[in-house]
Chain A
């Protein structure tokens, strides 16, 4: 046993591989730097902290993901199999950085309306971003668990961040209980897989049975000789834990409550980055360790995808609270993305890139919508009703234009990005022979057009219940308009010229 341990530890000390995770280290340092700068900057200079956070991340992005750092070209296994960098993980790292920059920006808008501690918000967002980058690269269940829990525990704090609001705290508590429950389920699955794959009496058992490659070899060998009940149970439990994080039916109960209670920037972060991380982990698992379990997992995930699409869209139709509406429609988007995952499992390799493409267009459109919501929100952030947007186009013509294009892209209207992304997913599903799922997804899209356009109709043709008053709340600055305009321009550009995103090979 001691030789094994020595061998295990030698892997960490033999080579200096820290440069492979330089962006994550820099993000963590920036996060700590923010706390230090809050201690030492004079009170009058505290407005600089959000700027340091945002521009620091931009600099990290420029350094790490351009030719200067050369990170995008590096790939391979690091830290004795803890981290595996592939082209997918390399695409997702800038994705998480971009989303955390946008969340920091929305957080600045949100925090300017509240009297709350400010620095810790940016600190936690940066930590989550770094942990998500590690999560999508992890190639060992220990690494996966630690990165996932770093993300989750920091999200508990962020969801309950508005300590003056009972809604935010209640959302935080619900997320905490259900999130911990899902982590425990995931862990139990991991333990079963570890125990079975390390059993020396079984063929193909490996001393390093938490590693994805060893596990893949073991499961493939055992499926060949008839399968193993504990492996199946473990795999189902792990997939259930991940489905919890992406908000798929039947693990979706937390989504509407938590999305409503959380501060708007955090809702956006949960909707986009957390979901994206969950999907990439799911893709890594079904293409790696669980590759041989396709026969078991394809029917399960197909059923979950269909139920998720139908539930999300039908529940959203009658919803008047906009944050719950975004949560429920987010469930539906998770369902469309699951179709892509099933297509990958049925052997359509390029569906991975269709999923990533969908996530990017979802990021652009969602942040446009959430940006408008953050600017428009009054002090009670949890109660944003559809009625607040009656005649919005006369008060804020530019913002309601942004909202229209963002919602149109989420609904999948050509020529916006969301349309092309859905098209790619459905073509992949067609190639995989998933005709039933495509029919359900198209039905879901039709339903979603109803409620997205209900919101747009409220903006342009809503009858005001009272006289229109010029309220000081909800005014946008030039910087807000530039950023939202850029997001919308990106959505249109991706829709017209999908080739601008170097994702689909």
Chain B
């Protein structure tokens, strides 16, 4: 049994949607990061699937760039979260509202 392209794309779109809902609804910064990673991994899955079915290499190459960039983003992001936790003793976004006032 082979899995068709549509199944891959459906799973990728679902993962992307779950990640997006997580970013919008969750309050904990670390969970938000995990949701962002989920979105990026959904994109990777779609890229690899398209690359396989279209028989081109560009998609596979692109995945490596996305993984690298995601790692850089997390490195910067966790540094900011740690620094912010030292100042404010919280990582919940609904308590981080010193601006906007």
Measured CB to CB, the residues of A under 8 A from B are 1, 4-5, 8, 141-142, 145-146, 149, 153, 156-157, 160, 163, 166-167, 169-174, 176-177, 180-181, 184, 187-188, 191-192, 194-195, 198-200, 205, 207-210, 256-257, 260-261, 382
Q: Contact check: which of A145, A166, A177, A209 meets B23 at CB < 8 Å?
A: A177
B69 at the interface (CB under 8 A from A): yes
B83: interface (CB < 8 Å): yes
Cα A260 to Cα B100 with chains together (Å): 9
B72 interface hit (Cβ, 8 Å): yes
Query: Is B69 within 8 A of A149, CB to CB?
Result: yes
CA distance A177 to B78 in the complex (A): 11
On whether the beta carbons of A8 and B19 are closer than 8 Å, the reply is no
Chain B contacts to A: CB under 8 angstroms? 9, 16, 19-20, 23, 29, 32, 36, 39-40, 42-43, 46-47, 49-50, 53-59, 61-62, 65-66, 69, 72-73, 76-77, 80-81, 83-84, 87-88, 93, 96, 98-100
Q: How far is the CA of A160 from the CA of B65 in the complex (A)?
A: 25
Is A184 in contact with B19, judged by CB distance below 8 angstroms?
A: yes
* B65:A157 contact, CB within 8 angstroms: no
* Given known A1-B55, A209-B58, contact A169–B23 (CB-CB < 8 A): no
Q: Do B76 and A176 touch across chains, with their CB atoms under 8 A apart?
A: yes
Please indicate the chain A residues that have their CB under 8 angstroms from the CB of B32 in the complex. 177
Q: Are B98 and A167 in contact (CB under 8 A)?
A: yes
Extra A-B contacts (20), CB below 8 Å, given A142-B61, A180-B73, A191-B59? A1-B55, A145-B66, A160-B80, A160-B83, A163-B83, A169-B83, A169-B84, A171-B99, A176-B80, A184-B16, A184-B19, A184-B43, A187-B43, A188-B46, A191-B43, A198-B50, A208-B58, A209-B54, A256-B100, A260-B99
A195 touches B9 (CB 8 A): yes
A-B contact count (CB 8 A): 135
Known: A176-B73, A177-B32. A169 touches B40 (CB 8 A): no
Residue of A with least CB distance to B65: A146
Least CB distance from B41 to A in Å reads 10
State how many angstroms separate the Cβ of B96 from the closest Cβ of chain A: 5
* Chain A residues closer than 8 Å to B43, beta-carbon distance: 184, 187-188, 191
- Asked if A187 and B98 sit within 8 Å, CB to CB, the answer is no
- 10 pairs, A vs B, C-beta closer than 8 Å: A5-B57, A153-B73, A172-B84, A177-B32, A177-B36, A184-B19, A191-B43, A195-B9, A195-B59, A200-B55
A64 to chain B, nearest CB (A): 27
**A235 to B77 Cα, complex, angstroms:** 28
Contact assessment for B69 and A210 in the assembled complex, using a CB-CB cutoff below 8 Å:
no
The distance in angstroms between the C-alpha atoms of A5 and B83, with both chains bound, is 44
How far in angstroms is the closest Cβ of chain B from A81? 11
CA distance A172 to B19 in the complex (A): 21
